[in-house]
Amino acid sequence: MDRTLLTVVVAAFNEEAALPLLHPRLATVLDGLRAGGVESRVLYVDDGSRDGSWRVLQQIAAADPRVALLRLSRNFGKEAALTAGLDLIDEGAALLLDADGQDPPELIPQFVAKWREGFDDVHGTRTLREGEGWLKKSTAHGFYRLIGRLSKTPIPADTGDFRLLSPRALAALRQLRERHRFMKGLFGWIGFRQVSIPYQREARVAGDSKFNFWRLWNFALEGITSFTTAPLRLATYLGVVTALLAFAYALWIVAKALLWGDPVAGWPTMMSVILFLGGVQLVALGLIGEYLGRLYTESKQRPLYLVDTWRPASGVSSAQAPAGDSDAHRTPVARGENA
Ligand code: UDP
Ligand code: MG
């Protein structure tokens, strides 16, 4: 198989400050790759930015014939934006990169080298995270350990979206059209030959993180509910344990009434038991609700994203029009004029 074409996919949401800093670094790296016999392109996906990102991207594309642009109709979230970008790649490998410089583009040649050795999924594993608070670091650490234990799919710890996917890994990923996209899990699910490259995660070059705590919490819930049903089982066990305890307690109450009579008392115990059981039941219901809600969105079969504008790279001849979602033959993709 010839391993000579690479597309770098960058999802950007409100990154007007970071993009002009990132692109020159990326361009230098890609020039180096060309010298080594690998042609590369860049595909920026504007995930419905509300700042000047799109204008900045158009300037970048006008100056660099390797750059293609895709603008989504609104902010669909990073996972959908990456999916949109990956859907467009019809040849060669893909490399996912954050727009904020936290994944250093200078490491790309190492990724490419591993790919040329025959690996399908080369991912960066963070050994150090700079510019992030201890709370984010420790919760992220805990989350990766938890999901690693709960999920049957191998999900490498401390590994984000900074990775290279071979054409067959891309083709495999494209078959997974679920709406709740926990990408780290999807990458793990497809398998193939994986290898990790340790790297130090740098601080953002500009702008602010788009993931606040609430978003990260939801992201964690997404990961857990998408890749394991362990919480449902936990509810079952909790129910069984509570029922056993309740049974033992009932025996005790009956015995006590028979031995010492039954003066009306025990209001506090009754209240605590009722409240406790009510709480346990609500938690279990909520858990079921989490899964049911996901089933509901999944059943609607909506496309994962909609395209506003597609601007192919001017220097690449085989640029094809975006297929949008793979369901596009049924769902017309709102496609704007080429920019
Ligand atoms: N991003 C995106 N859509 C979103 C949120 C983020 O495309 O809705 C992009 C963002 O522009 C960046 C990458 O995803 O390129 C990672 O986001 P961020 O740096 O905010 O996350 P963090 O590194 O803090 O986890
Ligand atoms: Mg970042």
CA atoms within 13 A on the CB side of 319: 18
What angle do the packed helices 167-174 and 78-87 form, to 10 degrees?
120
Residue 160, H or E segment: strand 159-165
Q: Can you tell me which atom of ligand 1 is nearest the CA of 45?
A: 7
> 38: CA distance to ligand 1 center in Å?
27
The rounded percent of the chain whose pLDDT value lies above 70 is 92
As a whole number of angstroms, the distance between CA 38 and CA 137 comes to: 35
The residue whose CA has the least distance to atom 9 of ligand 1 is 12
Residue 334: per-residue pLDDT: 38
Q: Name the token pair of 207.
A: 């702008």
User: How far is Cα 135 from Cα 83, in angstroms, rounded to an integer?
Assistant: 29
Distance 184 CA to ligand 1 centre (A): 14
Q: Can you tell me the mean pLDDT for 200-228?
A: 80
Point out the ligand 1 atom lying closest to the alpha carbon of residue 209.
20
CA dihedral 178, 167, 94, 217 (to 10 degrees): 30
User: Looking at the predicted structure, is the pLDDT value of residue 31 above 70?
Assistant: yes
CB atoms within 10 A of CB 286: 11
For a mutational test of ligand 1's pocket, the pick from 76, 210, 214, i.e. the residue with the most ligand atoms closer than 8 A to its C-beta, is 210
| Percent of the chain at pLDDT exceeding 90 | 37
- Residue 195 CB: number of other CB atoms within 10 A? 16
Separation CA 48–CA 80 (nearest Å): 11
Q: What is the pLDDT of residues 120-159, one digit of tens each?
A: 999 998 887 666 778 777 888 888 888 888 887 888 878 8
132 CA closest ligand 1 atom index = 24
Residues 324 and 303 sit within 8 Å (Cβ to Cβ): yes
> Which protein residues touch ligand 1 with a CB less than 6 Å away?
11-13, 15, 47, 75, 77-78, 81, 98-100, 102, 209-211
Rounded CA separation 225/294 (Å): 9
Please spell the DSSP secondary structure of 206-231, one letter per residue.
Answer: SS--S--HHHHHHHHHHHHHHH--HH
pTM, to two decimals = 0.76
Backbone φ, ψ for residue 88 (5° rounding): -85, -10
Q: Check whether 318 has a pLDDT greater than 70.
A: no
- The residue nearest atom 21 of ligand 1, judged by CA position, is 209
Question: Per residue in 290-304, is it b (16+ CB within 10 Å) or e — as a string?
Answer: beeebeeeeeeeebb
Ligand 1 center from residue 264 Cα (angstroms) = 62
pLDDT digits (tens, 9 = 90+) for 183-207: 888 888 898 999 999 988 888 877 7
Ligand 2 centre distance from Cα of residue 100 (Å)? 6
Q: How confident is the model at residue 311 (pLDDT cuts 50, 70, 90)?
A: confident
Using the mean position of ligand 1's atoms as its centre, give its distance from the Cα of residue 244 in Å.
47
Q: Which residue blocks in the chain are alpha helix, DSSP H?
A: 19-35, 53-63, 78-87, 108-117, 134-150, 167-174, 183-190, 213-227, 230-260, 267-299
pLDDT per residue as tens digits for the range 80-134: 999 999 999 988 999 999 998 888 999 999 999 999 999 999 999 888 766 677 8
